[in-house]
Structure 1
Amino acid sequence: MGFFFAVVLLVYNLVLFYIGWNGWNWIQTIIGERKRIKYTYWLVLILFAYSFVFARFLDDFPVLTWLGGIWLGLFFYLVLLLPFVNLFVFLTRFTRVPKESAKKWAGFSTIIIIIGLFVLGIYNAFTPVVNTYQITIPKQVEGAKSINIVMASDMHFSEMSGASHARNLVREINALKPDLVLFPGDIIDDDIGPFLRKGIPDIIKEIEAPVYASFGNHDREAPDVDLVNIFNNSGMKLLADEVTVLDNGITLVGRKDRGYQDVVRLKLADLMKQVDKTKPVILLDHQPYDLDIAEKNGVDLMVSGHTHRGQMAPGNLVTDMLFENDFGYLKKGQMHSIVSSGYGFWGTPLRIGTQAEIVQIKITFK
């Protein structure tokens, strides 16, 4: 483990030097060689580049969390863009364009692209859309021929996704007038502190429908924190490898997340022994793996999140390779799989190539 960490640190610092070298080369085309400014530049860059690490240890400085999030987005796209910028500058050597002019305008163009990506990414992250799916389950429920479900995943409530984001979520959910609300995981972003400090439990209680949730890989319990109790006292009913039957006969099955290495997760087949399969069965499983197992065990609808649809393009190409259904709707046999790209974000407050969403599922029973 120590060797792996050392390798990661070495690679990260090499890439950081590559980014810093490009940045200073561009600045020199504007102000020339100035040693004092050069030293200041490198010091600021290093502090900026490690702000996300400092934020993990200094909870009282939320500004570090924001700086770290901005840096991660900046780092990601600079790594993608700079090789093309360097190639462009190199090719201008075979033209009549002066080398210094090529560097200067390549730098300005990169800055403009980055600003454009950040404006788009922040807008997509904080402006959710509603995606609606209409499905049919060939089973009957008591007293209704249909049900209106709203699902939201991956809120990642934190310093960057706080009370205003939660209020917007509740407002959007209530406007859809759901009969049932499902939260399949990643309600918090590793740390329960911001969730409590920002009063999000009381905000979630304003949802005007029953809310059921399952754990995600970022819903981590500290040794002195009873996360199950906190969630249950926040207007939600948490299902952690549990089965519950609603008054209309619909069965909800909520699973513990597969990301926990130290937690025993029951097999789905064992959970389904408690289920009346003649009634509709809805499974909350944060990570959309093992769709075939869910289908073989008689699940009618599986709702998931986790993928963020890559969150930042071209990350969607990776999630598309990793998951049978990384976003949207897929029917597998009699089972319907719906995966949300998520309401919140992880790491950086950006979404590019995807948008924050709330999912509405209208089910007709026959």
Structure 2
Amino acid sequence: MFILVFIISLLLYGGLVYYIGWRGLHWLRPESSSRRFTILYSLVVLLAASSFIVGRMTGLTFINIIGAYWMACFYLLLLLVPLAHVTVILLRLTRLPRHGTQKWAGFITLGLLIFFMAYGSFNAFSPVVRDYEIQIEKGSSSLDSLHIVMAADMHFGLLSGKSHAERFVEKTNELNPDLILLPGDLFDDDVQPFLDQEIDKVLSKLHAPMGIYASLGNHDRHDGTMMELIEALEQGGITVLYDETVDVQGDFTLIGRKDRIDRERLPLNLLTKNINTEKPVILIDHQPYELNVAQQEGIDLMVSGHTHRGQIFPGNLLTDAIYENDWGHIQKEQMHSIVTSGFGFWGPPIRIGTRSEIVSIGIEFE
């Protein structure tokens, strides 16, 4: 079954690449093309189209970078090229010269591609701070309020690299949090670029008096063991909660879950079985599923990522249809769910309709 789906997906991808390449060839040489030019053009398109797959298979840095930017261009061209094609067909019904309309459609498409690539890169690498203020009807004698900074989906690796990590540390520390929570996808499928760039040393500069805690996501994996990933994070002073609970200074309980795709993930009721739910309970869970279960188990705040809010429009329409809360804050009785669109990105290094972000959560206890 998997092989059949892979073949169908590959054929569909190949067909779309052929269509985009064919329209590009018509724009570059609308009347006639020499055989040599056509072969060279086809070879360039073929190499670009295969770079993402080849890069993931081989791990070659240069090919991976080309593949990531190709996927950004490919996604945008899937939206722009059909629009330009239809426009050219409609303009044939007018007296405008066919050659001229096709040329201008090509130039406008190229201009829009460059604009959206620049705009999307700005959104991806220029994070903003989202502020939320919530109230929890619990507390302790020593805790009236709590300031949490939360971020997820950094996907630290080749493109979301050391400079982006330094940006994250600088902006997070500027917020002066009591507690930092990182709900998953800190790696981009492989721990090696993270270690090669010494991102663990960058993250070690994060500061929060009540600690820095993380859960792992679906991209936090590689060819080695899970403990190697956990050790890489803990070298940077981050405590990974891997289906574990921790009492923080006797004021509240943190629960960090394994990712939803982990077959050994424990049910939430086993993790909450021996904790004191009369004090605040905060859940770190990468994927924002089963909000009703979290509410029933006495969770007061659940922080998540994973959705990227679709990352590139119209992906947000899909995530909004899949998740009860795909971005932002909702409340279900006593439980608050806050989902971030993410600090980094996966695949195409652009964001359109979304923005790289860090979340600041102010909690008042009653």
- TM-score, normalised via structure 1 length: 0.96
Superposition deviation, residue 223 in structure 1 = 3.3
Q: How does 1:329-348 map to 2 (within 5 A)?
A: 329-348=329-348
Contact map agreement 1:137 1:365 (CA 8 A) in 2: yes
Q: Return the alpha-carbon distance in structure 2 between the equivalents of residues 48 and 363 of structure 1.
A: 48
Contact map agreement 2:195 2:232 (CA 8 A) in 1: no
| 1:203 match | 202
| 2:260 match | 258
| 2:95 match | 96
| 2:242 match | 240
- TM-score, normalised via structure 2 length: 0.96
How far does the alpha carbon of each residue in 1:66-97 deviate from its partner, in whole angstroms, 9 at most, with x for none? 21111111111211222221111111121001
| 2:119 match | 120
| 1:327 match | 327
Q: Structure 1 counterpart of 2:176, which letter?
A: K
| 1:38 match | 38
Find the residue that maps to 2:118 and give its secondary structure.
helix
Cα pair distance change 1:17/1:120, threshold 3 Å: same
| 1:192 match | 191
Q: Return the alpha-carbon distance in structure 2 between the equivalents of residues 305 and 142 of structure 1.
A: 32
Q: Return the alpha-carbon distance in structure 1 between the equivalents of residues 232 and 121 of structure 2.
A: 30
| 1:158 match | 157
Contact map agreement 2:142 2:251 (CA 8 A) in 1: no
Find the residue that maps to 1:264 and give its secondary structure.
coil
Q: Return the alpha-carbon distance in structure 1 between the equivalents of residues 145 and 6 of structure 2.
A: 52
Q: Return the alpha-carbon distance in structure 2 between the equivalents of residues 353 and 83 of structure 1.
A: 20
| 1:304 match | 304
Gaps of 5+ in 1: none
Contact map agreement 1:143 1:248 (CA 8 A) in 2: no
How far does the alpha carbon of each residue in 1:162-199 deviate from its partner, in whole angstroms, 9 at most, with x for none? 11000110000100001100000000011000110000
Percent of residue pairs bearing the same amino acid type: 46
Contact map agreement 1:243 1:274 (CA 8 A) in 2: no
Q: Structure 1 counterpart of 2:240, which letter?
A: L
Q: Return the alpha-carbon distance in structure 1 between the equivalents of residues 339 and 184 of structure 2.
A: 12
Find the residue that maps to 1:82 and give its secondary structure.
helix
Q: Structure 2 counterpart of 1:228, which letter?
A: I
**Residue 146 of structure 1 pairs with residue 148 of structure 2:** no
Find the residue that maps to 1:94 and give its secondary structure.
coil
Q: Return the alpha-carbon distance in structure 1 between the equivalents of residues 34 and 347 of structure 2.
A: 34
Q: Structure 2 counterpart of 1:331, which letter?
A: Q
Find the residue that maps to 2:156 and give its secondary structure.
coil
| 2:54 match | 54
Superposition deviation, residue 224 in structure 1 = 4.8
Q: Return the alpha-carbon distance in structure 1 between the equivalents of residues 89 and 229 of structure 2.
A: 55
Superposition deviation, residue 221 in structure 1 = 4.3
Find the residue that maps to 2:92 and give its secondary structure.
helix
Find the residue that maps to 1:320 and give its secondary structure.
helix
Q: Structure 1 counterpart of 2:199, which letter?
A: I
Q: Return the alpha-carbon distance in structure 1 between the equivalents of residues 357 and 287 of structure 2.
A: 17
How far does the alpha carbon of each residue in 1:11-42 deviate from its partner, in whole angstroms, 9 at most, with x for none? 1111111011000000003x952221111010
Find the residue that maps to 2:16 and give its secondary structure.
helix
**Residue 295 of structure 1 pairs with residue 303 of structure 2:** no
How far does the alpha carbon of each residue in 1:236-279 deviate from its partner, in whole angstroms, 9 at most, with x for none? 0000110000004210000000123xx31100011110210000
Q: Structure 1 counterpart of 2:111, which letter?
A: I
Contact map agreement 1:157 1:189 (CA 8 A) in 2: yes
Contact map agreement 1:142 1:248 (CA 8 A) in 2: no
Q: Return the alpha-carbon distance in structure 2 between the equivalents of residues 94 and 162 of structure 1.
A: 50
Q: Structure 1 counterpart of 2:205, which letter?
A: E
Find the residue that maps to 2:29 and give its secondary structure.
helix
Shifted more, 278-287 versus 64-73: the winner is 64-73
Q: Structure 2 counterpart of 1:334, which letter?
A: Q
**Residue 349 of structure 1 pairs with residue 349 of structure 2:** yes
Pairwise CA RMSD: 1.2
Q: Structure 1 counterpart of 2:258, which letter?
A: K
Find the residue that maps to 1:351 and give its secondary structure.
coil
Contact map agreement 1:77 1:114 (CA 8 A) in 2: yes
Contact map agreement 1:215 1:256 (CA 8 A) in 2: yes
Count matched residues: 362
| 2:316 match | 316
Contact map agreement 1:53 1:68 (CA 8 A) in 2: yes
Cα pair distance change 1:274/1:321, threshold 3 Å: same
Find the residue that maps to 2:86 and give its secondary structure.
helix
Q: How does 1:64-103 map to 2 (within 5 A)?
A: 64-103=63-102
Contact map agreement 2:305 2:341 (CA 8 A) in 1: yes
Q: Structure 2 counterpart of 1:318, which letter?
A: L
Q: Structure 2 counterpart of 1:40, which letter?
A: L
Gaps of 5+ in 2: none
Q: Return the alpha-carbon distance in structure 2 between the equivalents of residues 253 and 224 of structure 1.
A: 22
